[in-house]
Amino acid sequence: MDEVTATALKKNKTGTTCEKHGLPEYTLTSPITNSVIPSPTMCDLCWEEHDRRVTADEEPEIKPKKTATLPGNLTRAIPPRFAGASSTSLREGQKEAWATIAPALDADFVAALLVGANRVGKSFLGWRLCERASDRGLSWCRTTLRRLCREVKESWRSGSESAVIERHASPDILIVDEINRGFGSETELQILTEILDVRHDYLKPYVLLTDATPEEAAEAVGRAVVKRIAEESGMTEVKA
């Protein structure tokens, strides 16, 4: 597990042993909310392997305007699992959520939070928005809260924090997935809030995605952010 996770989160021993590594397993508690974070029960080595997979699986975040890219860039930017999402039919439980975020394609301001259980199509809707944005020549940025905060923290060594924030604040559309799966630190809230503040002031659409409950989502991103979203596009549940 990386140093950020180790210092920001508290370990809770479960009394069980990892079958793969033979080490004690534990859950994690946020020092901010003092509540157990929804995550698998794993040992230290399992967590290290998990973090390496998360980093390796992250797709390039910023898709430049289509007019400035070479043919094929869209396919390399959109994960194969979601390629063609823009032309895939929506399930009934996804239509309300899509109607909430689709106006961003027409340059209308959207500040939305999509919640829902695993595998109901929240990420699919996010990638669908990205792919259609590309078709219209719009720039977009899709990331996760953990990856966003890792980028900012790594930038502290080079003094380029403002460049990272600008990279996420400037695209036409921003999507932040897994907002409940960060490191649970106050720094995350500050970073996310700063980026969303800029986007809000300049009327640039943003969509947050989570499989947490509305209450857990409010704890993850801060009640001020949730209140602001409620005043705009609001919170919408994606249903199976």
What would the mean pLDDT of 10-27 be, rounded to a whole number?
Answer: 81
- The pTM score is 0.67
Q: Look at residue 217 in the predicted model and tell me its pLDDT.
A: 84
The answer to whether 41 and 49 are in contact (CB under 8 A) is no
Q: Coil, strand, or helix at residue 217?
A: helix
pLDDT of residue 1 exceeding 70: no
Q: Look at residue 84 in the predicted model and tell me its pLDDT.
A: 80
Which class for 179: exposed (0-12), middle (13-18), buried (19 or more C-beta within 10 A)? Answer: buried
What would the mean pLDDT of 28-46 be, rounded to a whole number?
Answer: 64
Q: Coil, strand, or helix at residue 53?
A: helix
Q: CATH for 58-237?
A: 3.40.50.300
Give the tens place of pLDDT for each residue, 39-69.
567 788 877 776 665 444 444 444 544 443 4
In angstroms, what is the C-alpha Rg of the chain? Answer: 18
Q: Look at residue 173 in the predicted model and tell me its pLDDT.
A: 96
The answer to whether 42 and 9 are in contact (CB under 8 A) is no
User: Greater confidence, 133 or 3?
Assistant: 133
Nearest to 90 by CA among 121, 68, 59, 54: 121
Give the tens place of pLDDT for each residue, 61-88.
445 444 434 333 333 367 777 878 888 8
Nearest to 130 by CA among 65, 34, 49: 65
Nearest to 53 by CA among 16, 1, 89: 1
Task: Enter the tokens of residue 123.
Answer: 């990420």
Q: Look at residue 185 in the predicted model and tell me its pLDDT.
A: 76
The single-letter code of the amino acid at 125 is L
Measured distance CA(126)–CA(56) in Å, rounded: 20
Q: How would you classify the pairing of strands 173-177 and 24-29?
A: unpaired
Ranges of each domain in the chain: 3-56, 58-237
Enumerate the β-bridge partners of residue 112: 207, 234
Confidence of residue 209 (pLDDT cuts 50, 70, 90): very high
Q: Look at residue 83 in the predicted model and tell me its pLDDT.
A: 78
Enumerate the β-bridge partners of residue 42: 26
